[in-house]
Structure 1
Amino acid sequence: MLDLVIDARAAAIGPGFDVKRILPFRQRRMVGPFIFMDHAGPVDIAPVNAHDLDVLPHPHIGLSTVSYLFGGQVTHRDSLGVEQIIRPGEVNWMTAGRGIAHSERFEDPATLAGGQLEMIQTWVALPEADEEQAPTFANYQPHELPVFTDTGVWMRLIAGNAFGLRNDVRTHSPLFYLHVVLQPGARFGLPRGHQERGAYVAKGSVEVAGHRYTAGQLLVFTPGVDPVIVAREASTLMLLGGEALGERYIWWNFVSSRKERIEQAKADWQAGRIALPPNDNAEFVPLPQDKSRPAGTGGATGGAAPQALS
């Protein structure tokens, strides 16, 4: 029924700002094409310290970053000149391709002081044929993301296809990504037709096959099974998965099917060959001083920790 249960680990991304890191994990680096997952918040911090949370301009290759908020707002700026505030229920989908840099700034002190900021960020690895595409960015509004409701169940399709729902969020491989809210006692299943599937318990607790799982746990299911998820209390889940892409290497913010490509990305960032956001270029995150090699999806841990958020 379950291949693995992954407990989120604390990861510091700034002074006094820890997130729950779910993927990558030593025993399971990917679920479908999803290679990274962080859960930040709820954040409650004095407005005077809000700048400490900012994620300065940093680079990516070989992946799409996906930002989804439960509360608050974040300002995204990137090398393409895009400046986009993301709010709850929207999706920011940035495809790095051959290389992009972006920042994420927390510029609304009121939402931080009120403990409203809470977000999920994932990285979706790209198929080999798309790893070197030109970078792109898109923001999708709530009305573009279909919602389904049933007794005790509310869900929004963030990307891909599931339960007969589809939207126009551009993806590069077969996948699904859902925000699901369950009322106590509600019963729910997993979408069929996907090779790998997982359910992250963001809030509350659920029961599967007589076992209880709580907030901060990612349940990775055995292919081909059709489990019943029962909400033990009001619960929020993020369902994700899709077609496996094969081995990927990950080092810091770089993902690739080729180790040498990650080495090139390191050199490019060090040499300034990946452009900074034109409207946020006064500071940036330097390349970590880490001599380890990129870690493969099937190998032991290694390499610098990914920069979060995304």
Structure 2
Amino acid sequence: MPIAKTRSVLSGMRVKEAMRRQIVAVDHGQTARYGIARMIKYKADLVLITDDRAEPAGIVSKTDMTGAFYAGLPVDTALGDIMMGPLISCFADDPLEDALETMNLHGVHQLFVKGADAGRFEGLLTFGDILGLVYRYCHRCRKSHARRMSDGEDAVFPSDTLVEEVMTPDVMGCRVNDTLTLVMEMLSAQRKSAVLVNDAGDKPAGVISKTDLVLAWYRENDAQTLADAIMSVPVRSCHRKTTLTDAMARMLVEDMGRIFVHDSDHGRIVGVLALADAANQRSGTCKACVSSRLL
């Protein structure tokens, strides 16, 4: 009897097809200030910390640095004193679906990739890398909205997923006159990477991400600094009826970890779409191609 098996966009793909080869490694004795400078230079979200034998010992992410800032540690603190572990990894030939499941299981946004030599890392896999690969795959699909429009096809295909179907509706917000201490407490409690900053009229005025907080620490701002002093402007958002494919394209082009979602009124934020949401959605529930196949 034929077996019906649901296949996803990622079925058959391997980690090596999406991973990046560049890993930013820093000695454990270097300062957090130096680590931040390396993050900025290579546009990285974390640094791999090595021990005295140049072996991988842990990682320091923007989350770890934000925690150090909140704890009142000086930015010249040694990276070895704030690094975290263990290092979660996968192999280059592992199925991409398994790697995504591992990320979700451990609550991480990246995996170090091992090759033939299991004791050596050959690359890094992030949610953004998976999203980029899936977007390229979907964009070439004959059922995609962009492809149909360019080819002038008038056939009826399943509609693309809309942002409002995937977004997180609860948007965490603070005030422009809240302190960075309060902002960091909110991010930690909600396990979020960014907070929307509202003005006195409850209109979106800016965004504070962990990147903004790390840069504030690098510049030696006080934790009692007000939110409007370091927030990023403007608030980048899309309409709730935007297709997920179009939202993905914008997030990739503009290098955004998340995009806020507005209603017909641009000043009314109704949700937020993160890279993790898009990666998980596109990994198996695309309306155009999630139909069961007979194997």
TM-score (norm: length of structure 1) = 0.26
Larger Rg: 2
TM-score (norm: length of structure 2) = 0.27
Higher helix share: 2
